[in-house]
């Protein structure tokens, strides 16, 4: 670290302990305040979308991929089997941090998460932050970050939720939630089991019948999925000021690796993949007036078995610790300072030896109202990787309130942030292809936005606009080097675009109506110079659509509800420099709730891909046509 950074860190830690040493004599009930430091409050100037429990209930048997496809203009590259990866604002899958209780759960070896393995049944809130946020979340958060959350609800007594889905192509989903809470204890356990045969029919555009000169009809084979998981949470108010929590999340994911269309027809060898993941966190929160102190421990274990070959297993472990102090009235603003420690270990068959690594992250944040209508936030993070390369990631953001009345609110925002991505273990240690001299990726994100909220009588309208430029240097790509492929820092990549969001809610007599539209335009390309804009020479990166849009509608009438959603994905360029056609998918559902005292019964019928669109998300990999599902839910509270 530079002398300036060391001096800064020393100063903020001095302030830290000086403040803690002051007399604290204010008693505040834990129910009246947030129980964890919400880092999002320091992302001033950034775009954040919250998917609440109501929206998540419509995709509760699906994955994070299904949720994104329904509600957000973000591209997820997927097959019909068990693999899907996100492309946030044109970045790579390694450039999105997936956070669970403050822990980044991306693979240490691959650098990203399989979105199809994250079940929405386990969570009741997902926060999606657009753009760089390394200053708050560290490595990976170049394109964006996703927070998986559950809300703590006190004094709710005993509650049960049971869900059973039956769907086309041999699909079944079973989910169970149990919980109890009073004024001191809150406990919840959620478990699910999901399987899918994926034996759907499709037109095989990779194989022709030469007698008729037509593509052949085919049935997908070897693309089955079986997943199950359990998430347990326990929260305990030790006293009015002290709070203890712990969470355990275990999941097993098994899937057959879907063959492409040609392999499917001519009979490819059967391959399968199994992953086991365990995430454990525990911590203490101390709250007194304007002061909040938190400390926590975490453990992450990931295991991968390819095609039942136990000589080629991949496993990693991470032990984490953190300490954090928050002050809600420091120099007339909010102040946060802390430190994270991580010890990373690997046992990978393709490494010459077992690898371990230590990382320290020092961070601080400050948010203040500079003027009555102008809010500013500064975030600083220094990531120290022992025996490797340190990274410094600052960010600065502003929000300005142009108008605020009972009926209208208009805000403007601006942010600039630096981000980084530490190379994966595979990038550095995979033998003999790894490159120990590979450099971290780093980027700069510039963003401007505006939000407009109108509320009148029984209706409201929300509209937002965001424009961004993201420059990423030392982009890592595996390229031919002699007789092998090796990772190299070979690219400067620039992503720029605009995002539009519209949402309207209203009451029309006995009818509640919600509808909205999202759209994103993303231009992402290799460049020689970040600030010489020669658009005629730009070529879109592989599998990054320029245009993505989705629409959604929910209509509620007494105990009935109806939903419609549609998503458009624009054309994409494949590795072979061919255009993959864009497509529009439409889904609908209808259901009814039945109430009997504390019991609620719900039945829901879904039709996916209404128009039976034949499409490819990935070149020459089949996707299902029209399909149906029936969902039964029972809730006791």
pTM: 0.90
**Partners of 491 in the β-ladder:** 475
Question: Cα separation of 30 and 152, whole Å?
Answer: 12
E-only strand ranges, 370-440: 374-385, 391-404, 408-421
Residue 544 is encoded by which pair of tokens? 């990054």
Q: Is 7 in a helix, a strand, or coil?
A: helix
Mean pLDDT along residues 285-312: 94
> Both tokens of residue 621?
């990999």
Question: What count of Cα atoms within 13 Å lies in the side-chain half-sphere of residue 426?
Answer: 17
Mean pLDDT of all residues in the chain?
90
SS3 label, residue 602? strand
Backbone angles phi, psi at 344, to 5 degrees: -105, 135
Residue pair 522/549 in contact by the 8 Å Cβ criterion: no
- Tell me the average pLDDT across 475-503: 91
- Mean pLDDT computed over 230-259: 95
The larger pLDDT score, comparing residue 175 to residue 597, is at 175
- Cα separations in angstroms, 33 against 288, 343, 571: 10, 32, 47
CA–CA distances in Å: residue 232 to residues 177, 197, 606: 10, 29, 30
Please give the DSSP secondary-structure letter assigned to residue 582.
P
Q: Enumerate domains of the chain plus CATH numbers.
A: 3-636 (2.40.170.20)
Q: Token pair of 309, please?
A: 């070959």
Cα gap 211→632, rounded to integer Å: 48
| pLDDT of amino acid 289 | 87
Q: Assess whether pLDDT exceeds 70 at residue 33.
A: no
Tens digit of each residue's pLDDT (9 = 90 or more) over 56-81: 998 999 999 999 999 999 999 999 98
DSSP string, 147-167: EEE-----S-EEEEEEEEEEE
- For the cut 70, the answer to whether the pLDDT of residue 27 exceeds it is no
| C-alpha to C-alpha distance for 340 and 91, rounded to whole angstroms | 26
pLDDT at position 34 is: 44
- CA 481 – CA 272 distance, rounded (Å): 29
Question: Which secondary structure element, helix H or strand E, spans residue 14, and what is its range?
Answer: helix 3-20
The C-alpha atoms of residue 11 and residue 567 are separated, in whole angstroms, by 50
Given pLDDT bands bounded at 50, 70 and 90, which one contains residue 38?
Answer: low
Q: Tokens at residue 408, please?
A: 């209208």
* 358-404 per-position pLDDT tens digit: 999 999 999 999 999 999 999 999 999 998 888 999 999 999 999 98
Average the pLDDT over each of 2-6, 119-123, 148-152, 361-365 and give the range with the smallest value: 2-6
- Confidence (pLDDT) at 47: 93
φ/ψ of 116, rounded to 5, equals -75, -10
**489, HSE (Cβ side, Cα atoms, 13 Å):** 15
Spatial separation of the C-alpha atoms in residues 459 and 446, rounded to whole Å: 34
Kindly tell me if the per-residue pLDDT of 11 is higher than 50: no
Strand partners, 517: 502, 551
Tens of pLDDT, residue by residue over 504-561, are: 999 998 999 999 999 999 999 999 888 887 777 788 999 999 999 999 999 999 999 9
- What is the rounded distance in angstroms from the CA atom of residue 119 to the CA atom of residue 251? 10
* Residue 256 or 38, more confident: 256
């Amino acid at each position: 670290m530079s002398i300036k950074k060391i001096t800064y860190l020393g100063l903020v830690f001095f302030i830290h302990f000086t403040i803690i040493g002051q007399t604290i004599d204010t008693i505040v009930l834990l129910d009246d305040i947030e129980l964890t430091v919400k880092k999002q409050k320091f992302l001033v100037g950034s775009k954040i979308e919250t998917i609440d429990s109501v929206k998540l209930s419509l995709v509760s048997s699906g994955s994070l991929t299904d949720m994104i496809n329904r509600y957000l203009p973000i591209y997820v590259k997927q097959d019909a089997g068990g693999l899907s990866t996100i492309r946030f604002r044109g970045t790579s899958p390694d450039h999105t941090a997936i956070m669970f209780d403050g822990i980044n759960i991306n693979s240490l070896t691959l650098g990203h998460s399989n979105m199809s393995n994250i079940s929405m049944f386990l969570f009741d809130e997902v926060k999606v932050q657009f753009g760089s946020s390394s200053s708050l979340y560290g490595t990976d958060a170049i394109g964006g970050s996703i927070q998986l959350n559950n809300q703590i609800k006190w004094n709710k007594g005993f509650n049960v939720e049971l869900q059973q889905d039956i769907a086309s192509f041999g699909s079944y989903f079973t989910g169970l939630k149990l919980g109890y809470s009073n004024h001191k204890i809150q406990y919840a356990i959620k478990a699910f089991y999901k399987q899918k045969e994926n034996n759907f029919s499709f037109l095989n555009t990779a194989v022709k019948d030469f007698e008729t000169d037509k593509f052949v009809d085919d049935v997908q084979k070897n693309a089955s999925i079986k997943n199950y998981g359990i998430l347990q949470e326990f929260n305990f108010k030790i006293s009015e000021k002290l709070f203890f929590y712990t969470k355990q999340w275990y999941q097993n994911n098994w899937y057959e690796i879907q063959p492409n269309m040609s392999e499917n027809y001519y009979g490819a060898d059967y391959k399968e993949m199994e992953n086991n993941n365990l995430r454990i966190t525990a911590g203490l929160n101390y709250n007194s007036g304007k002061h909040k102190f938190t400390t926590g421990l975490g453990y992450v274990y990931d295991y991968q078995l390819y095609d039942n070959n136990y000589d080629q297993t991949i496993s990693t472990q991470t032990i984490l610790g953190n300490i954090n102090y928050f002050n809600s009235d420091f120099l007339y603003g909010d102040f946060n300072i802390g430190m994270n420690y991580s010890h990373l270990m690997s046992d990978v068959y393709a490494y010459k030896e077992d690898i371990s690594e230590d990382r320290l992250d020092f961070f601080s944040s400050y948010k203040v109202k500079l003027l009555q209508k102008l809010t500013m936030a500064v975030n600083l993070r220094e990531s120290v990787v022992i025996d490797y390369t340190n990274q410094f990631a600052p960010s600065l953001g502003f929000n300005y309130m142009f108008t605020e009345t009972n009926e209208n609110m208009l805000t403007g925002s601006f942010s600039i942030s630096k981000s980084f991505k530490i190379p994966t273990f595979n990038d550095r240690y995979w033998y003999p292809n790894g490159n120990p001299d590979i450099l971290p990726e780093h980027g700069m994100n510039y963003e401007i936005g505006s939000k407009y909220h109108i509320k009148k009588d029984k209706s409201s309208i929300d509209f937002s606009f965001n424009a961004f430029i993201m420059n990423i240097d030392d982009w890592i790509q595996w390229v031919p080097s002699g007789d092998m492929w090796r990772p190299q820092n070979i690219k400067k990549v620039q992503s720029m675009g605009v995002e539009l969001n519209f949402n309207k809610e209203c009451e029309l007599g006995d009818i509640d109506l919600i509808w909205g539209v999202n759209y994103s335009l993303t231009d992402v390309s290799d460049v020689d110079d970040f600030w010489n804009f020669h658009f005629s020479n730009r070529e879109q990166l592989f599998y990054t659509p320029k245009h993505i849009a989705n629409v959604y509608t929910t209509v509620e009438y007494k105990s009935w509800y109806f939903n419609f959603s549609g998503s458009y994905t624009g054309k994409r360029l494949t590795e072979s420099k061919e255009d993959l056609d864009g497509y529009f998918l439409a889904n609908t559902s209808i259901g009814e709730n039945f109430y009997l005292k504390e019991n609620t019964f719900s039945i829901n019928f879904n039709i996916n891909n209404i128009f039976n669109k034949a499409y490819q998300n990935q070149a020459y990999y089949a996707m299902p046509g029209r399909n149906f599902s029936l969902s039964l839910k029972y809730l006791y509270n």
